[in-house]
């Protein structure tokens, strides 16, 4: 039986990725390794000196070639990046199979399912490999089937305060 936990950050509000990165920082402070793979985000986190300084404890990957958010891409660009998205998922599978990290963050993976890019079964097959690795899944759209995979679900909601 797997000992790693699966956490989901979902909701319309902003903050899902920063919440996941906050957990990654906690892991890094304990000497643990995190791999984050970003999907559908366009540029995602820019490849800056700061991001490079997080390595080797926190490594961030983006396999898609387009700098545009997925919804803003042409149909041809979307088709071209489907292979790159699958490569990112294969890389995630390799990390889980080899124990390459203590925490795996699949940023916006819930929206891969919601957009029909991968199936719930594809995601289930990937998550079954996690054994001792903790996993964080993020995305706006969480299907009831994906909900079943999680040990913890946090839904972020934007709140409007009135005076």
- The confidence band for 72, taking pLDDT boundaries of 50, 70 and 90, is confident
Q: Does residue 162 lie within any of the structural domains? A: no
Predicted pLDDT at 1 = 42
| Beta-carbon contacts of residue 7 (< 8 Å; ≥ 6 apart) | 23, 134, 135, 136, 137, 150, 151, 152, 153, 154
Q: Structural domain tally of the chain?
A: 1
Predicted pLDDT at 2 = 58
Backbone dihedral region for residue 42 (phi beyond 0: left; psi -120 to 50: alpha; all else: beta): left
Q: Does residue 50 lie within any of the structural domains? A: yes
Q: Does residue 163 lie within any of the structural domains? A: no
Q: What is the mean pLDDT of the chain?
A: 88
Q: Does residue 148 lie within any of the structural domains? A: yes
**Euclidean distance between the first and final Cα of the chain, in Å?**
51
- The tens digit of pLDDT for each residue in 19-59 reads 999 999 999 999 999 999 999 876 666 666 777 788 889 99
Cβ–Cβ under 8 Å, residues 7 and 150 = yes
Q: Does residue 1 lie within any of the structural domains? A: no
CATH of the domain at 41: 3.40.50.300
As given in the structure block, the two tokens for residue 128 are: 């079954």
Q: Does residue 122 lie within any of the structural domains? A: yes
What range does the domain containing 57 cover? 6-155
- The tens digit of pLDDT for each residue in 133-161 reads 999 999 998 999 999 999 999 999 888 88
Say if residue 120's pLDDT is above 90: yes
As given in the structure block, the two tokens for residue 145 are: 């089937």
Percent of the chain with pLDDT over 70: 93
Say if residue 60's pLDDT is above 70: yes
| Beta-carbon contacts of residue 96 (< 8 Å; ≥ 6 apart) | 104, 126, 129, 130, 131, 133
């Amino acid at each position: 039986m797997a000992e790693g936990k699966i956490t989901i950050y979902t909701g319309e509000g902003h903050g899902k990725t920063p919440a996941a990165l906050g957990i990654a920082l906690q892991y890094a402070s304990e000497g643990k390794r995190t791999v984050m793979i970003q999907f559908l985000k366009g540029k995602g986190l820019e490849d800056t000196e700061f991001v490079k300084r997080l390595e080797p404890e926190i490594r961030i990957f983006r396999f898609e070639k387009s700098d545009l958010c997925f919804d803003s891409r042409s149909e041809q660009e979307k088709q071209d990046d489907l292979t790159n998205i699958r490569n990112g998922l294969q890389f995630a599978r390799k990390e889980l199979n080899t124990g390459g990290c203590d925490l795996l963050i699949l940023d916006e993976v819930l929206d891969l399912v919601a957009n029909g890019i991968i199936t719930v079964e594809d995601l289930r097959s990937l998550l079954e490999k996690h054994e001792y690795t903790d996993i964080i899944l993020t995305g706006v759209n969480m299907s009831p089937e994906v909900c079943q995979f999680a040990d913890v679900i946090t839904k972020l909601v934007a709140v409007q305060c009135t005076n």
